[in-house]
Amino acid sequence: MSTGNSNLYARFRESYAGNDDKVVLTTTDGATYSFADIHRQSAQIAELISSLGVERGDRVSVQVRKSPQNLCLYLACLRGGFVYHPLNLGYKSKELEYFIGNAEPALVVCDSENEATLSDIARSAGVNCVYTLNGDGSGSLTDASKAKGQSFETVNCESDDLAALLYSSGTTGVPKGIMLSHGNLLSNTETLVDAWGFTADDRLLHALPIFHVHGLFVAIGCVLLSGASMRWLSDFDAGLVRKFLPECTSLMGVPTFYTRLLADPSFSDDDCRNIRLFVSGSAPLLEETFVEFEARTGHTILERYGMTETNMNTSNPLHGSRKAGTVGPPLPGVDVRITNDEGEELPIGETGNLQVRGPNVFVGYWRMPEKTAGDFTDDGFFNTGDMGVIDGDGYVSIVGRAKDLVITGGLNVYPKEVELFIDDIPGVKESAVIGVPHADFGEGVVAVVVQDGSAAVSDADIIGACRENLANFKVPKKVVFVDELPRNTMAKVQKQRLRETYEHLLD
Ligand code: AMP
């Protein structure tokens, strides 16, 4: 029975009521955490955070390795009404300065390895509280929370109270903070548990990162809201996935997970003997992967579509036909439509801008009311920036990314951000960053660069400078020099032409 409290954590707790000793999480080396353990540790962390003077609605910025204690920190934020702000561990100083400066957290938690850098960045942003949390669970956050009481009372939340702030760069190059409420997360998680048939009997193999919607809200949410359990991998390792797959009922992954599993010729239906559901998302699943996976294991991968701003929007069905190359019909309660550039709804079969409306759609961009207003229509639809088409059965296909997003190994690279950085390198006039097919990552980053002759600059210089300042997944795999960039009559760089020209560059 619901408590009437919209706090997502309160609903997680209800799922384990009377079954607190159930083991929820088992690590690869066999350490186990019951719900009671997680409840106690998250209480102690919430108590510590409160004692530091952090208040409801304050941001807690977190750049740490995936660990059970990281999960407890996330849950502690939910419990205390603090806004959880996860950061990819790959972000370097320049990027962190922006995120910390913009989110203005009351507390920063980082790996001991980065403590000196993060402390400097935090201090310049006026943040005095920095704690550490390492991949093995050690750190000053753990030490200080151990001394705290265990009976923290989860705060009552309204459905539009903020739960998390996740950044996603825009094509303008300015990363935007996406405000997600308890209501957004709760409604979408309830929908997914129902749509995908999660129950307390499920055991999920959790190998996704937890700084992103997929691993954090979709995977953890489905487990904790259904009272299920998970085998917890600190990252994707095909050998470990194969080792633990037979004890699991479900795997959620990015397409790369599936191509890597298939790369091992001995991977077969026997590995999947207890699996009832394979889910793929965050990037397009190639039809050939879908077909080969079915041939090898007998399982059809369920592909779904979502984004940080909206959580999950569409999903192929649990029961019924899963169509390769589509992301399925809209989830219950979610409206999806395709429009032309004038905002008029297009008929079935026509490609256009994909718009979404529903309780899953975010509250707005952090401190960007004009940008928020510009991305919503008068009747409350959010313009996703994706191009899509709906077929006669109501199945949606994502046909392109209006925003020219590059997705490499499931991680997003916004070309503008890399272009702005490269353009600042002496000797560079301008650049265009594109995604090019890559056998392992789906897409790899390629920079097409025009020199201005003011200084000698080589491809190694550009890649080296990117490597020092940007997360590794954003660093171009190759740099190509050209005399000029192809442009249309409106002077826009024709990225599609570049993609065609360099289609085989990373073969
Ligand atoms: P993110 O905000 O990091 O979750 O990235 C969201 C973007 O990933 C979406 O706007 C889509 O462009 C893309 N995306 C997510 N899932 C899929 C999918 N199943 N097929 C194609 N693109 C997808």
Confirm whether 507 is domain-assigned.
Answer: no
Q: What pLDDT sits at residue 185?
A: 98
Distance (angstroms) between ligand 1 centre and the Cα of 275 equals: 25
User: Are residue 414 and residue 393 in the same domain, yes or no?
Assistant: no
Q: Where are the alpha helices (DSSP H) in 272-340?
A: 287-297
Distance (angstroms) between ligand 1 centre and the Cα of 207 equals: 18
Q: Which residues contact 252 (CB under 8 A, 6 or more apart)?
A: 204, 206, 208, 214, 215, 218, 219, 222, 279, 280, 281
229-244 per-position pLDDT tens digit: 999 999 999 999 999 9
Does ligand 1 lie within 6 Å of residue 412's CB atom? yes
Reply yes or no on whether the pLDDT at 78 is more than 70: yes
Integer Rg of the chain from CA: 23
Tokens 């939340």 belong to 157
158-169 per-position pLDDT tens digit: 999 999 999 985
- Number of domains, the chain: 3
For residue 43, the domain's CATH number is: 3.40.50.980
Least confident of 39-43, 285-289, 386-390: 285-289
Q: What pLDDT sits at residue 170?
A: 44
Confirm whether 119 is domain-assigned.
Answer: yes
Q: Which domain holds residue 97?
A: 8-16+25-157
CB 221, CB 192: distance < 8 Å:
yes
* Distance in angstroms (rounded) separating the CA atoms of residues 198 and 249: 10
**Single residue among 377, 401, 425 that ends a domain in this structure:** 401
Does ligand 1 lie within 6 Å of residue 307's CB atom? yes
Confirm whether 171 is domain-assigned.
Answer: no
User: Are residue 116 and residue 77 in the same domain, yes or no?
Assistant: yes
For residue 283, name the pLDDT band (cuts at 50, 70, 90).
Answer: confident
For residue 433, the domain's CATH number is: 3.30.300.30
Distance (angstroms) between ligand 1 centre and the Cα of 281 equals: 7
For residue 307, the domain's CATH number is: 3.40.50.12780
DSSP string computed for 218-243? IIHHHHHHHT-EEEE-SS--HHHHHH
Compare 430 and 262 and report the one with higher pLDDT: 262
User: Are residue 382 and residue 419 in the same domain, yes or no?
Assistant: no
Minimum-distance ligand 1 atom for the alpha carbon of 384: 10
User: Are residue 393 and residue 410 in the same domain, yes or no?
Assistant: no
Confirm whether 278 is domain-assigned.
Answer: yes
Dig out the tokens for 293 from the structure.
Answer: 């996976």
Q: What pLDDT sits at residue 400?
A: 63
Confirm whether 411 is domain-assigned.
Answer: yes
300-353 per-position pLDDT tens digit: 999 999 999 999 999 999 999 999 999 999 999 999 999 988 899 999 999 889
For residues 131-156, average pLDDT: 97
User: Are residue 243 and residue 357 in the same domain, yes or no?
Assistant: yes
Q: What pLDDT sits at residue 171?
A: 42
Q: What pLDDT sits at residue 489?
A: 45
Confirm whether 289 is domain-assigned.
Answer: yes
User: Are residue 248 and residue 298 in the same domain, yes or no?
Assistant: yes
Dig out the tokens for 14 from the structure.
Answer: 């209800």
Q: What pLDDT sits at residue 490?
A: 35
User: Are residue 372 and residue 439 in the same domain, yes or no?
Assistant: no
DSSP string computed for 372-411? HHHHB-TTS-EEEEEEEEE-TTS-EEEEEETT--EEETTE
User: Are residue 397 and residue 414 in the same domain, yes or no?
Assistant: no
User: Are residue 391 and residue 423 in the same domain, yes or no?
Assistant: no
* Distance in angstroms (rounded) separating the CA atoms of residues 19 and 299: 32
Does ligand 1 lie within 6 Å of residue 401's CB atom? yes
Q: What pLDDT sits at residue 494?
A: 82
Distance (angstroms) between ligand 1 centre and the Cα of 61 equals: 24
Q: What pLDDT sits at residue 495?
A: 86
**Single residue among 366, 401, 436 that ends a domain in this structure:** 401
For residue 1, name the pLDDT band (cuts at 50, 70, 90).
Answer: very low
466-490 per-position pLDDT tens digit: 999 999 999 999 999 999 998 754 3
Does ligand 1 lie within 6 Å of residue 316's CB atom? no
For residues 176-200, average pLDDT: 98
Please list, residue by residue across 108-138, b when 16 or more beta carbons sit within 10 angstroms of its beta carbon and e when fewer do. Answer: bbbbeebbeebbebbeebebeebbbbbbebe
* Distance in angstroms (rounded) separating the CA atoms of residues 260 and 281: 15
Question: Please, what sign has the CA dihedral across residues 483, 487, 490, 491?
Answer: negative
Q: Identify any residues that bridge with 107 across adjacent strands, giving them in sequence order.
A: 60
Q: How many CA atoms lie within 13 A of 186 on its CB side?
A: 22
For residue 103, name the pLDDT band (cuts at 50, 70, 90).
Answer: very high
Minimum-distance ligand 1 atom for the alpha carbon of 327: 19
Confirm whether 188 is domain-assigned.
Answer: no
* Distance in angstroms (rounded) separating the CA atoms of residues 405 and 435: 8
Residue with CA closest to ligand 1 atom 21 = 284
Q: Which residues contact 304 (CB under 8 A, 6 or more apart)?
A: 279, 280, 281, 312, 314, 315, 316, 327, 328
For residues 171-185, average pLDDT: 85
33-73 per-position pLDDT tens digit: 999 999 999 999 999 999 999 999 999 999 999 999 999 99
User: Are residue 301 and residue 388 in the same domain, yes or no?
Assistant: yes
Reply yes or no on whether the pLDDT at 2 is more than 70: no
**Single residue among 139, 157, 175 that ends a domain in this structure:** 157
Confirm whether 110 is domain-assigned.
Answer: yes
For residues 211-228, average pLDDT: 97
Q: What pLDDT sits at residue 337?
A: 98
User: Are residue 232 and residue 363 in the same domain, yes or no?
Assistant: yes
User: Are residue 227 and residue 279 in the same domain, yes or no?
Assistant: yes
Question: What share of the chain has pLDDT > 70, as a percent?
Answer: 97
* Distance in angstroms (rounded) separating the CA atoms of residues 415 and 417: 5
Does ligand 1 lie within 6 Å of residue 284's CB atom? yes
